[in-house]
Amino acid sequence: MDDRYETPIVLLVFNRPDATRKALDLVLAQRPRTLFVVADGARTDRPGEAEACRATRALFEDLPADIETVKLYSDTNMGMRRRVESALDAVFERVEQAVILEDDCIPDPSFFSYCESLLHHYRDDERIASITGSNTQASRASTEARSYAYHFSMVGLPWGWATWRRAWKAYDAKLKLWPAFRRSGWLRERLGHVAGGQWERMLNQAHEVDSWWIRWCLSMWVHGRVATVPRVNLITNLGGKVHEGESTEAAVAARYGNLPTQALESPLQHPPFFVRDPIGERRVLESTLPWSPVGRTVKQVLIEGHGTLRRFFPGGQ
């Protein structure tokens, strides 16, 4: 019996050989047929980074011969956003679907079967853009969201996920659709004036942010697409201190780093209808914002606080 993992796996690496070794061991345990290794180049102003990048790439020199290994290495530092964008463009020129992991993301083994099952189940369903493995709200999920193996969400976190060529084709790198989408008021309608306004400002300033993920979120929203979110958390992100100039994804990972994982049962119990958790969605989107000290105070009053005042503001609930 052939127990190879058929879906191509993409591993995004950089300068963390120890973390990469952990992720790679879990990937190799799945016996994938195809592995794409994506590596950015070292930054010239970071002492020792070139050596760390070389040590990370060395881990992929002696992989089993029966794994088709495709190395997408950059000689120069492109930054998180451009490196991910260019790599996934190249991946989906070659394959129809893929599972994507970053070097500091440690998946529960059930993550891989979850992804492969849903990639097949929703392959031709244009409503679904991505299969995500992180659930930071599992302990606070609604009864409906806990009733099945996964639920649907307008937001899926980026630390272990899967998608199809058909969905990635809609990725809006230049945010061409953002001006018209902003005028629609969609974000404020769903998140309220406080969090919705903060997300609008973040997208207005996206050219200053080294983030592919906020562009991916927008690309999902403008086409009315959603992500799947597992009932339990399947990804531990080894999040740490965020350094100046690092991406939005790194900042969010620092907040949600080191969450434990649980195994997801198999076979998956599919929801019989579109089950969403709008309160959980909003919590995730609010928690990704770079709240200023004033913004945190307003957030506590309007969104997290209790009492009469918050009921009079959109999104206060």
Tens digits of residue pLDDT in 280-313: 787 887 777 654 443 444 444 444 443 333 333 3
The confidence band for 63, taking pLDDT boundaries of 50, 70 and 90, is: very high
What is the rounded CA–CA span in Å between residue 58 and residue 55?
Answer: 5
Greater pLDDT, 243 or 9: 9
DSSP letter, residue 223? T
Is the pLDDT confidence value at 84 over 60? yes
Per-residue confidence (pLDDT) for residue 210, from 0 to 100 = 83
Per-residue confidence (pLDDT) for residue 10, from 0 to 100 = 98
- The interaxial angle of helices 248-256 and 213-222, nearest 10 deg, is 90
Residue 97: beta bridge partners?
Answer: 164
Tens digits of residue pLDDT in 93-142: 999 999 999 999 999 999 999 999 999 999 999 999 999 999 988 777 66
Is the pLDDT confidence value at 29 over 70? yes
Residue 150 main-chain phi, psi, to 5 deg: -160, 165
Of the given ranges (102-106, 137-141, 174-178, 208-212), which has the lowest mean pLDDT?
Answer: 137-141
What is the rounded CA–CA span in Å between residue 13 and residue 58?
Answer: 12
Determine the distance from the C-alpha atom of residue 26 to the mean position of all C-alpha atoms in its chain, rounded to a whole number. Answer: 19
pTM attached to this predicted model = 0.86
Helix (H) or strand (E) holding 297: helix 293-299
Q: CATH top-level class for 1-103?
A: alpha beta
Closest C-alpha to 111, from 271, 228, 246, 277:
228
Cβ distance 200 to 188 under 8 Å?
yes
Average pLDDT, the chain: 85
Tens digits of residue pLDDT in 248-277: 555 555 566 678 999 999 999 999 988 777
